[in-house]
Amino acid sequence: MKKHNYSAGPCILPQEVFEKSAKAILNFNDSGLSILEISHRSKDFVAVMDEARDLAIELLGLEGQGYKALFLAGGASLEFLMVPYNLMKENGKAAYLDSGTWASGAIKEAKFFGETVVVASSKEENYNHIPKGYTVPADADYFHCTSNNTIFGTQMKEFPSLDMPIVCDMSSDIFSRVLDFSKFDIIYAGAQKNMGPAGTTLVIVKEEILGKSGRTIPSILDYEKHIKAESMYNTPAVFPVYASLLTLQWLKKLGGVAAVEKLNNEKAELLYTEIDRNPLFKGAAAVEDRSNMNATFLLNDAAHTDTFDTMWKAAGISGLPGHRSVGGYRASMYNALPIESVQVLVDVMKALETKV
């Protein structure tokens, strides 16, 4: 039986993506060859890469505005250092918002390159909210933020307008909601949430911001080299890129980011309403910063843990335990999770109330 998959990532993808990818492993485009055994330089794969790059830009509404899309290796974590390598000037400085574990990972890498100003942090409150009311130093080379904090279940609802490049780690909410994406100069996201299997990272770069750091950048870490090579500087992660393309095609068919945002809002509303109504539970994140992708919540009385865990497992739910740094539960409701799965969880939460 197919599970209701709340995994935080890698995570649920559309069923048709699983089916089409499985078929392509056996026989890609009726070529008599597997997608796993063809050259990345073959006509068929170059077409996959080109369409995936174009579709990513199209779905974000960034066509004709000087943006390039890349599918790189090394995970979102490699972008933590590629960003400062490409943007921070020698003896320059960068500004970071510390809103969670991944933001702090990005800060750690930036410090290898130069002065890294943390404009605000919610670390002292275990990252239960998004810091606000901060000032970004006007002489920073760029500002970096994390749009959705996967572990703590908080999501930025507003982004500053600044006179410098804005870089955003959108790993866990890319393609989930409409934003003015042209506010950002670099957007990066590991594929393994809303886009595809682990193994590739989507990087969207506004080309005009590159080439200004004055640094000598090793080729494999240089965005300009990857752009010039049309994301084929080295062998790309052929299969993850193909599965990402299938997910992007699925999203386009669904009506794009605006259509999926509506569904994501409905799912989040259904679950948060129950978290707030049910006296047995409480939300872990500040209400105004709650994430529509990762809902974190706790039992008010830990004595009910075993009963609740037995009940949701029996209902076919998977991947619900929270990250160890928050405890409790985390329901990750990525684009491909159907609202029916959220209803199953809500029904189990209601059933617990009648049982204890």
Nearest CA-CA partner of 336 in 16, 60, 71: 16
The neighbour count for residue 91, using CB atoms within 10 Å, is 8
Q: Which is nearer to ligand PMP, 202 or 348 (CB)?
A: 202
CB 257 within 8 A of CB 59: yes
Binding residues for L-glutamate: 41
Q: Rule CB under 6 A: which of 151-210 touch ligand PMP?
A: 169, 171-172, 190
Decide whether 172 or 341 has the Cβ nearer to ligand PMP: 172
Q: Which two tokens stand for residue 249?
A: 């095609």
Is 77 a binder of ligand PMP (CB under 6 A)?
yes
Q: Are 95 and 65 in contact (CB under 8 A)?
A: no
* Smallest distance from ligand PMP to CB 101, Å: 8
- Please identify, using beta-carbon distances, which residue of 146 and 213 lies nearer to ligand PMP: 146
The rounded distance, in Å, linking the Cα atoms of 351 and 181 is 41
Q: Which stretch binds ligand PMP (CB under 6 A): 39-47, 69-77, 115-123, 133-141?
A: 69-77
Select which of 98, 169, 222, 289 is catalytic.
Answer: 169
Asked if 193 and 174 touch (Cβ cutoff 8 Å), the reply is yes
Task: Decide: 107 and 96 in contact? Cβ < 8 Å.
Answer: yes
Q: For the purposes of burial, counting CB atoms within 10 Å of the CB of 208, is it exposed (0-12), middle (13-18) or buried (19 or more)?
A: exposed
- The CA distance from 186 to 62, in Å, is 12
Within residues 117-146, the interface with ligand PMP by CB under 6 A covers 146
The neighbouring-strand residues paired with 281 are 299
Parallel, antiparallel, or unpaired for β 166-169 and 186-190?
parallel
Annotated catalytic, 180? no
- Pick between residue 20 and residue 201 the one whose CB is nearest to ligand PMP: 201
Burial of 85 (0-12, 13-18, 19+ CB in 10 A): buried
Catalytic residue among 193, 206, 222, 289: 193
Whichever of 174 and 352 has its CB closer to ligand PMP, that residue is: 174
Q: Can you give the C-alpha Rg of the chain in angstroms?
A: 21
Minimum distance, C-beta of residue 72 to ligand PMP, in the bound complex (Å) = 11
If one asks whether residue 92 binds ligand PMP (CB under 6 A), the answer comes out as no
Contact 86, 223 (CB under 8 A): yes
Say if CB 177 and CB 333 are below 8 A apart: no
- Report helix, strand or coil for 252: helix
Pairing of strands 329-332, 294-299: antiparallel
Q: Is 10 or 160 the residue whose CB approaches ligand PMP more closely?
A: 10
**Shortest Å, Cβ 344 to ligand PMP:** 24
Annotated catalytic residue within 20, 68, 102, 141: 102
312 as an active site residue: the answer is no
**Active-site annotation holds for 169:** yes
Task: Say if CB 284 and CB 152 are below 8 A apart.
Answer: yes
| Residue 137 Cβ vs ligand PMP, minimum distance, rounded to whole Å | 24
Interface with ligand PMP by CB under 6 A: which range of 72-80, 213-221, 255-263, 342-350? 72-80
Return binding residues for pyridoxal 5'-phosphate.
Answer: 76-77, 102, 150, 169, 192, 234-235
42 binds ligand PMP (CB under 6 A): no
Q: Out of 28, 67, 102, 223, point to the residue binding ligand PMP (CB under 6 A).
A: 102
Q: Choose, by CB under 6 A, the member of 6, 9, 52, 349 that binds ligand PMP.
A: 9
Question: Annotated catalytic sites, by residue?
Answer: 102, 169, 193
Contact residues toward ligand PMP (CB under 6 A) are 9, 75-77, 102, 146, 150, 169, 171-172, 190
